[in-house]
Amino acid sequence: MVQLSNRGTDTPSGNSFVLWQAEDLSNALTNQTADLRFDWRNELPVLVINEAHKLSESSARSLQGLPVVLVELSGNDNASPHADIVVDSEEELTALLEYISQNPVASVICCQVLRHSEDLSTNLGLLLESVSYGTLQNGNEFKKWLDARGRRVRPDETSPTVLINAESEHVELQLNRPKLKNAFSASMRDSLVEALRGLAADGDDRSILITGKGSTFCIGGDPAEFGTVENSATGHMIRSIANAAPWLDLLSERITVRVHGAAIGAGVELAAFAGRVEANKDAWFSLPEVGMGLIPGAGGTVSISRRIGRQLTALMCLTGKRVDATTALEWGLVDALIE
């Protein structure tokens, strides 16, 4: 029997992986008795492939169903579209495996969602993301993160969380929690949805500019609200009913988002739906959710992967790396740098 995993590993670690040559892996996968299981409890759920672009088409299709992170170790420009993530050196591979070892379940589910949502409609992509996010909310990795950070409480807010400046030819929507770096709260989400819904009325073709007040565009979901929804099923229903993503997608051709400072988590996920994203040179972007035992939950598996592809999206998710404005422009995450 051909096994695709290393059964001798005692515990998941940054060094427990199998490096497969593309030809050997293709041969293994054509064997009807190949054991495609990975024991994620006792080993790192990663399959590292050298020159994955040489895989046969049938082998590549078989790999898509594996509950693992498919990593290509490549030192050239022939990266395979079948890999979840591509690294160029053993040093990068070592660092990536260490990140994955911290939250292996969230890492795998993130790559599964990105892998299977590539050709889905926005609605189906958001559905897959939300159900997967809800699954992870009940997982040990998120619980560990939540317990380590403790609970936070916010005082009641009296100011509107989204300011609306409407003129005859254009509308500006400004995120308005500057003291909290525009943390994306439930109130801000609901206010943004309400504003966007109104702008979707028949006959309204005004351009829409979305900005953030203060020093930062948006640091993502409000930390005080993580873990406060009663259960993951309720959370899924809230995301299904009150998500800003479908409205941003619907109005995308009319929307410009202008980013300054940080755009983290929901901040970059929602911005990426816009038809045009502008960024100051001091702007930077990050997706930290996998490090929390989750995946992006505001639409980022759809919006960001459409802009930069799923492999770069997976790189952002699994490493939480900070992407500067210049790199974001090179990748296509933003469309222009402004002063």
Residue 80: predicted pLDDT? 79
Asked if the model's pLDDT at residue 16 lies above 60, the reply is no
Q: What is the residue-averaged pLDDT of the chain?
A: 88
Task: Say what the pLDDT of residue 173 is.
Answer: 97
- What is the domain partition of the chain in residue ranges? 18-102, 122-338
pLDDT computed for residue 9 by the predictor: 39
Give mean pLDDT, residues 26-43: 67
**Higher model confidence: residue 40 or residue 252?**
252
Cα 294-299-302 angle, rounded to 5 deg: 105
Tell me the average pLDDT across 81-101.
91
pLDDT of residue 101: 93
Residue that has been written with the tokens 């492999």 in this structure: 311
pLDDT at residue 196 in the model: 96
pLDDT at 13: 46
Q: What's the CA gap between 23 and 218, in Å, rounded?
A: 46
**Quick check: 5 and 39 in contact, CB under 8 A?**
yes
* Short-list 114, 118, 131, 121, CA closest to 246: 121
Q: What number does CATH give the domain 122-338?
A: 3.90.226.10
Q: Which one is predicted more confidently, 77 or 297? A: 297
| Mean of pLDDT values over 243-261 | 97
Residue 238 reports pLDDT greater than 80: yes
In this prediction, residue 29 carries a pLDDT of: 74
Q: Which pLDDT score is estimated for 103?
A: 95
Q: Please, are residues 229 and 290 in contact by the beta-carbon 8 Å criterion?
A: no
How many distinct helices (H) and strands (E) make up the chain?
13, 13
Q: Pick the closest to residue 280 from 323, 322, 325, 321 (CA basis).
A: 325
SS (H, E, C) 114-156: HHHCCCCCHHHHHHHHHHHHHHHHCCHHHHHHHHHHCCCCCCC
Say which residue, 28 or 264, is predicted with more confidence.
Answer: 264
The predicted-structure confidence for 128-182, as pLDDT tens digits, reads as follows: 999 999 999 999 999 999 998 877 777 777 789 999 998 878 999 999 999 999 9
The tokens describing 148, both together, are 């380590």
- pLDDT tens for residues 271-289? 999 999 999 999 999 999 9
User: Which residue carries 């504003």 as its tokens?
Assistant: 195
